[in-house]
Chain A
Amino acid sequence: MKALPLVIFAIVALAQWAAPLSQIWTHEQTLTQGTLIKLKCSAPDPYDPLRGRYLAVRPEQREASVPAGLKLESGTRVYATLTSGADGLATISSLSLTPPTSGDYIRVNVGYAYESKATIEWPFERFYINEKLAPEADEWFAENIRTSKGIIAEVRVLNGRAVLADLSLDGRSFREILKERVK
C-alpha cells in the first residue's frame, strides 16, 4: 500500500470532520456567549428532504432605512444594528458597511435597494422540528401568527453572527407549548 493515498485519505477524513466541526464551534460560541434578541415573526411550515420538517421563520421587519450617502446594491453584505424597544422586541435601527463599534449587530445581505430603503435577507430562516410535532406546530402557528402578541423568534447574536435559539409565545417556549398540546 503506497503512502500517498493514505495521506490523502487522512486529509479527506479530517476535512470531512472539520467542515461540520467549524460550524459547531462558531454556533456554540454564539449560543453560549451571544446576546438574546427577540424578533416578531411570521411563518408557514415547509419540508426539507434532507433535514426534515422546519418552520420557515420570517421576521416581520423586511426592510430598513439606508443612511444618506450609503450606496447599496443587491447582494451587498451589510451590518444591521439591532435596538430593543420598550416591549423587548428588537428592530434594525441602522445599516452600515463596517461593523458598528458598540451595540448588538448582525451581518445581513441586501435583497434590493430603492430610494432610501433596502430589503433585508435575514441570516436565519429555518427552525427544525420533530416530525411527530410538525402537524401540531402547523396548527399552533396558524392560530397564533396573526394575534397581537405574535410568535417571537429568540436569536442569540455575537460578533455579527446570529443563531436561532427558540420560538416563543407569550414568554413560553414553543416546544413546551407543543408538548402540552400533543399530550
Chain B
Amino acid sequence: MNTSHHRWLLEQLPKWESEGLLTTDAARTLRERHAVDASQPGAAQIIMGSLGALLIGTGLITIIGFNWDDFSRPVRLVFAFLPLLLSQLFSLRVMLRGDATAAWVRETAALLQALCTGACIALVSQIYNLGGEWPDFLFWWCLLSLPLVWVMKSSSVAIFYLIGIAEWSIHQVWGHQPWHASPMIYPLLLLGLFPFWPGWKLDRPLSITLRWVMTISAICGLCAAAHHATRMHFAESWGHFEVTLWQWVLTSAMLALFPLSSSALDATSRHKPQVILGFLHLLQFGVVATFLDMGQELAKAVREAWQVPWTWVLIAVIAAFAVHAIFRRRWAVLSVASIAITPVLALVMGETAQAVLPWLMTLHLSLIGITLIVLEFTGRRGAPRLGAALLCVLIIARMFESELSLLTKGLAFIVIGVAFLAFNICMSRLARQKQLPQS
C-alpha cells in the first residue's frame, strides 16, 4: 500500500465507524497501523512545489539569457547573487521552523536554492565571457546542490542530482578524460546521496518515484562507466562494443541482485525497479543470445572482456550480492541473474564455444522458465507467468530460426498461444482458490 492508499483508508474510517461496520477499537488499531507520516510530502505536493520552483528558476535563467549589457558589471553581478541570497534566506527560515513547515514548502525552498545556484554560476560566466562545457557546469552545479538533499531532506533536489550525475556520466564517456573526471566515479557520486537516509539501517523509506529515478540514473551511470573503461583499455580502437554490451548485462545482473531487507523483499514489484529493469535486460539478452548467429560475437566479447579490470569489479560485486541473495533465498532473482554468466560457461568448451553458446543459452533459459513455474507450485517465491512467457518466447525464436514451412510455423504459433492462454486461466483460478479460504 502506498501513502495515497493509507490516506484513503483513514478518510473512510469515521464513516465506517458511524455505520457500525467497525468498532472504535478496530478503527483505532487501523489508524495506528496505517498512520501517514505528515513529514513526508505527497507526490502531488512535490510536483506542485517543484513546478513552482522550476518556473521561477527557469524564469531567472531566461532573464539572464537576455544579457543586460546596458548595466555595468557590478550591477549585473548583484543580479546574479541577489536571487541566490534570497533563496538561501528562504531555506534558512524553512530549516529554523523545522517541522512547523509544510513538506511541499521545504521541497520548493531546496529546489529553488539549487536552481538559483546554477543561475548564479551561469550569469557570472556570461558576464566574464567564460567558455566551459555543459558537463563541467553540470558537475559543479550538482555537487553544490547535493548537501541540500541531506540538510533539507529534499526529494526533488535528490531527483535533480540523480538526473544530473547520470547526464554528466553519459557526456564524459567520450574524450580523453582522466579517471577522476570520467564516469568511473559515478558510484562515488551515487554514494553522495547516502546521508539522505540517516543511520546504517537506511531508516528513511524511499518513494516509488525516487526508486525509479535512482535505478534509471544508476543504469545510465554504470553503463557509461563500463563503456568508458572498455574504451580506455583498448585505447579507443574500434570493434570492442560487444565487450561493453556484455558488461551492461553484468551490470543488469548486479542491479537485480542488489541486496534487499526482508520488508523490501515482501514489497510489490513496482517498489523494486532494479529487479524489473534488470530482468527485462537479462531476458532480452538471453533470448538474443540463443540465435545461432550471435555465438561467435558473444564468445569473442567475453574472451576480451576478461582483460578489462572493470569486468572483474562487476564480477566481484555480483558474487558478493549473490551470496547475500542465497541467504535471503531469492531463488527466482538468482536464476535470472545467472543468464549473465552463461557465456562464461560456454568458454569452457574452448574452440567450439561459439557453436555451443546459443544452445547452452537456450537450455539455460528453458530451465529458468521451468524453475520459475515450479517454484510457485512448491510454495516458494516464483514467477509462473514470467516463466511461461519465457518458454513461449524461446519456442517462437526457434520457430523463426527454423526452416519449417509457413503452415507448420503458423500452426505452432496457434498451439503455443492457446497453451499460454490456458496456463494464464489456470493460474488465475489457482490464485482465486488460494484467496477463498482466507476470506
Interface residue ranges, A against B (CB under 8 Å)? 1, 5-6, 8-9, 11-13, 15-17, 19-20, 23-24, 27, 31, 48-54, 74-75, 123-131, 133, 163-164, 175
Contact = CB atoms under 8 A, between A and B. Distances in A.
B66 A52 contact: yes
Interface stretch (B76-84, B240-248, B398-406): B76-84
Contacts of A133: 69
B21 interface: no
Contacts of A163: 128-129
A29 to B, nearest CB: 11
9 contacts: A9-B152, A13-B88, A20-B124, A23-B125, A48-B65, A124-B130, A130-B66, A131-B66, A164-B129
A81 to B, nearest CB: 21
A50 B61 contact: yes
Contacts of A126: 129-131
Contact of B95 (A6, A23, A75): A6
A111 B264 CA distance: 51
Given A126-B130, A163-B128, A164-B129, A51 B147 contact: no
Contacts of A13: 88, 92
B334 to A, nearest CB: 40
Nearest to B62: A52
Residue among B70, B118, B151 having the largest count of chain A Cβ atoms under 10 Å: B151
Interface string B133-172: 0000100100010011011100000000000000000000
Given A16-B120, A24-B124, A51-B125, A131 B65 contact: yes
Nearest to A153: B129
B151 A12 contact: yes
A27 B130 contact: yes
Contacts of A27: 128, 130
A95 to B, nearest CB: 19
Nearest to A164: B129
B126 interface: yes
Interface of B: 61, 64-70, 77, 80-81, 84, 88, 91-92, 95-96, 98, 113, 117-118, 120-131, 137, 140, 144, 147-148, 150-152, 176
B62 to A, nearest CB: 9
A16 B117 CA distance: 6
A164 B130 CA distance: 8
A42 B334 CA distance: 60
A154 B279 CA distance: 58
B424 to A, nearest CB: 49
A11 B147 contact: yes
A137 to B, nearest CB: 11
Nearest to B146: A12
A23 B65 contact: no
Contact of A17 (B84, B98, B123, B150): B84
Nearest to A48: B65
A52 B126 contact: yes
Contact of B91 (A9, A125, A130, A175): A9
A5 B69 contact: no
Nearest to B151: A5
Contacts of B130: 23, 27, 124, 126
A133 B137 CA distance: 26
Contact of B128 (A12, A15, A23): A23
Given A9-B95, A52-B64, A52-B126, A125 B150 contact: no
Contacts of A74: 176
Given A20-B81, A24-B124, A51-B65, 7 more contacts: A15-B144, A23-B130, A50-B61, A50-B64, A50-B118, A53-B65, A123-B131
